[in-house]
Every structure is written in structure tokens, then in C-alpha cells.
Amino acid sequence: MDIMQSTPVIDNRKTMPSFHPTHDGSVISTIRSRSPHTKSPSPPPTVEQVLDYRKPSLAHIAPALEKLGITSLDHLHAFADLNPETRDRVLKEDALKLGVTPMEWALLVDRLRFI
């Protein structure tokens, strides 16, 4: 029996990354690393963060919105998708009673068009 035929060949060589030259002479490597510094996906923003995103901040009206039942980003999306007539009939009056000013209401409605 021939030893070369009965012994499996094990290739312990690692695959070398390929390098691609760029126009300026530098190279781009195909090495893919798993850096411990790689950030995991960030959690979705909170209602307060969305309200605070642009200036002027509306984060201070978050408690009033919470009393209206708007407690999550999904609720903000639903609020933004409401027919304006329905939104004003169902929510606006109560929001104003809770201390939201007409200007803040207008800013909120305008801002939510972009979320």
C-alpha cells in the first residue's frame, strides 16, 4: 500500500486576502474583520428624541403627548398618518388643554411629516 494514497492531504495554508490597486497607487484589501469596536445597530429613537431632534425642541410636550396615548415611535407614525381633520378633532383640543400651545401643535404636525 502506497502511503501517499492512504493519507489524506491537509492544507493548513490560510487563504490570502486579495489586494486591489487604486488610481493613486494605494491598495484596497478584501480582508474583513470583526472589530470589537464595531457598533451594533442602535435602538430606535424615543418619542423625546424625535421631539428634540430639530430646533426649537418640542421634548417638553412629551408628557402631554403621553397623556394623549402617544407613547412610542409607532404612535408618532400613526399620528403623522392620521387624516388632518380626524387628528385635529380627536387630539388637538385635548393637547391644547394639556398645555401644548397652538404654535407647538403646528410645529409638531409639520415635523412629523418627515419621520
pLDDT, one tens digit per residue, over 14-41 is 555 555 566 666 655 555 555 556 666 7
Please give the Cα distance from 91 to 65 (Å, whole number).
9
Instruction: Say if CB 95 and CB 64 are below 8 A apart.
Output: yes
pLDDT, one tens digit per residue, over 54-99 is 899 999 999 999 999 999 999 999 999 999 999 999 999 999 999 9
